[in-house]
Amino acid sequence: MRMHPFPEIGGLALLVLLAGCAAPLTSSRDSGLAAGGSADSTSLFDTSRWSKQMDKATRKVTGRSINPDKARELYSQAERSYQTAIKAGDRRSDYLTAAKGFRSAADRWPDSALEQDALFLAGESYFFADHYPKANESYELLLKKFPHTKYMDLVQARRFAIADYWLKLNEVDRQAFWEFNFFDKQRPMRDSFGHAVRVFDRIRIEDPTGRLADDSTLAAGNAYFTIGRYLEADNFYTDLRKTFPSSNHQFRAHLLGVQAKLRSYQGPDYSGIPLDEAEKLIKQIRRQFPHEANEEREFLTRAYAEVRYHKALREWDMAKYYDRRGESGAARFHYAVVATDYAETPFSRRAADRLVELGDAPDVPPQRLAWLVDLFPQEEDLQPLLADPPQETTLR
């Protein structure tokens, strides 16, 4: 018997052949089109239809065709292993056996109530077997196929616990960006931190009205804050304040937002928006949370003073810049702002003294080499290279 030189091509051809047998290209509707009739051209390029046909063909080749009876049988076997593991206390091998059985049962009867139950129990089995990446994978598949699943609260609680564990594990044993994990089944292959934050983010997106949505938002912000990524942390704190106004974490989100904004500020050479937002947030805290603000009075007073100092420094640096250029008019303006608006800062007195020293200095310095500048035509004296086209007066 002569072997095919490329066996993988033969397998691909078999899949295509089975897909064609499952749904032939030519139909009575296609025949009408060939005879000169009209049809919706998009049906010829319906990717979802072809995807279903290929899935059906693949199932036939691999022996995983849809079979409700087989699904029930696999589910019963997996359930027995699951119960055995529960009774034994800690039988990871039984949990793993059950997990694989539940996944197989779900695969044999898609879009059914059995699939929903099987995916949930597969996640539970992996969870109790301490295979957390696999557990999260099963939970996410359940949420993808059944967005309004009856297991929503418990699934999100499990995923929250998994993400929190990954964060704590990363604090003890931080993975480098190039490091891979091939042996520890409790953590992802790489980037435990990134996977944890992603799970927190998905929880609040998939179940925005759930009881853990605001907790997940705060947890993601705190994770970024801990490693010094203050801009990302501030984004989550801001989202928590705006999206969950009745959350119990509102005061913490305001307070941590102030800290994140102050730490994300990079100096007078960069944007001052974080300072403006921090000052606004401090005033809002004192107005909206008077009792809690009184307890954090020392921090808020210090933070407000820090904001005012940095804003005064920005104006002072701008005034010094114009002062060095001899543009006394602009310098006077900024010195006056420092002297009047930031009287509590150490720059106020220095700005007032400098205003006295400037006196009646001209607003702009005299033009140097004026004779050379006069040799060049002024803007209003320049003539266009091309004359304007004549205006048409004839109506057409």
Distance CA 277, CA 232 (A): 15
Instruction: Quote the pTM value.
Output: 0.76
- Specify the fold of 212-295: 1.25.40
The distance in angstroms from the start CA to the end CA of the chain is 83
Separation CA 303–CA 189 (nearest Å): 41
CATH topology (fold) of 67-211 = 1.25.40
DSSP alpha helix (H) spans, the chain = 7-22, 28-34, 47-62, 68-88, 92-108, 113-128, 132-145, 152-172, 192-206, 213-226, 230-243, 250-264, 273-288, 290-295, 297-324, 328-341, 347-358, 370-374
Whether the Cβ atoms of residue 213 and residue 194 lie closer than 8 Å to each other = no
* Domain 67-211 identical in fold to domain 212-295: yes
pLDDT tens, position by position, for the chain (396 residues)?
444 443 443 443 433 333 444 443 333 334 333 344 444 444 545 666 666 566 656 665 565 678 899 999 999 999 999 999 998 876 789 999 999 999 999 999 999 999 999 999 999 999 999 999 999 999 999 999 999 999 999 999 999 999 999 999 888 887 777 788 788 888 888 889 999 999 999 999 999 999 999 999 999 999 999 999 999 999 999 999 999 999 999 999 999 999 999 999 999 999 999 999 999 999 999 999 999 999 999 999 999 999 999 999 999 999 999 999 999 999 999 999 999 999 999 999 999 999 999 888 887 777 666 666 666 766 665 566 666 666 665 555
CA–CA gap between residue 238 and residue 224 (Å, rounded)? 13
Cα separation, 103 vs 107, in Å, equals 6
Domain boundaries, given as residue ranges, for the chain:
8-25+46-65, 67-211, 212-295, 315-364
